[in-house]
Amino acid sequence: MSFIGPTGSGKTRLALQLLARSVSDDLTGYITVMKAKDKTVGEFLAQHDRWKRTLTFPPPPRAPGMPKVNGWVVWPHHTNDPAADEIRHERVFKEMHKRLYVKGDNIIFDDEVVSLVREMDMKRDLTRIWTKGRSLGSGLWGATQRPAMVPLEMYDQAQHLFLANIKDKRSQDRFGEIAGVDPDLVVDVVRRLPKFHWLYIRQEAGQMCVVGP
């Protein structure tokens, strides 16, 4: 599932709403958070007691008597040394993707795909999960504000795409990589979407509709 739109368009909030409804005792959610602060994720954690933050991966074992966790927000801490943080974060996120992908029974939501690809050098890790993860029982969800900089698989392997209002030409050019729908129509609809509205595309069926808040 792919969420594509500029900063503040509601990607994180929509993805978290859907994720909270998609996980269960048998299907665990994992969210990667790279920013030092994210109000939307912070609010989500405060509102969902079956979701916990972990600074590392794997998450700490469940203490006796603690209810089962439906999801983990993998959100390493930030210090005043960004370069060292980046190395540490890269280790955590790579380990997480490597392990979860073969384990299956999970949904991984990468909330900032461009940062993973460009800062953490994770293009291959993501591409592997996007192309093979489904058959192993892993779902990979991704959000990005810069669609021109993400791997092609974020489009052509997505069963479900949510596109917010995007006006720049480079981003619109990627719409040609969505199967079964007319890219000119997609461009035309997307650039007229009001705030917090999405063009939802079900790629396999070549179907689309506009959804509101």
Binding site for Mg ion (CB under 5 A): 12
62: alpha, beta or left? (left if phi > 0; alpha if psi -120 to 50)? beta
Residue type for 183, please? P
> From the CB of 25, what's the least distance to ligand ADP, in Å?
27
Nearer to ligand ADP, 35 or 77 (CB): 35
- 3-class SS letters over 19-62: HHHHCECCEEEEEECCCCCCHHHHHHHHHCCCEEEECCCCCCCC
> From the CB of 128, what's the least distance to ligand ADP, in Å?
25
Nearer to ligand ADP, 101 or 162 (CB): 162
> From the CB of 13, what's the least distance to Mg ion, in Å?
8
Residue 100 sits at φ, ψ, to 5 deg, of: -70, -35
* Binding partner of 9, given ligand ADP, Mg ion, none, CB within 5-8 angstroms per partner class: ligand ADP
> From the CB of 173, what's the least distance to ligand ADP, in Å?
21
Which residue is closest to Mg ion by CB?
12
Nearer to Mg ion, 42 or 59 (CB): 42
**Per the structure block, which two tokens stand in for 50?**
């079956």
The residue ranges that bind ligand ADP (CB under 6 A) are 5, 7-13, 39-40, 196, 213
> From the CB of 207, what's the least distance to ligand ADP, in Å?
22
**Per the structure block, which two tokens stand in for 20?**
């909270």
Nearer to ligand ADP, 40 or 127 (CB): 40
Residue 65 CB contacts under 8 Å (≥ 6 apart), including other chains: none
**Are the beta carbons of 121 and 90 closer than 8 angstroms?**
yes
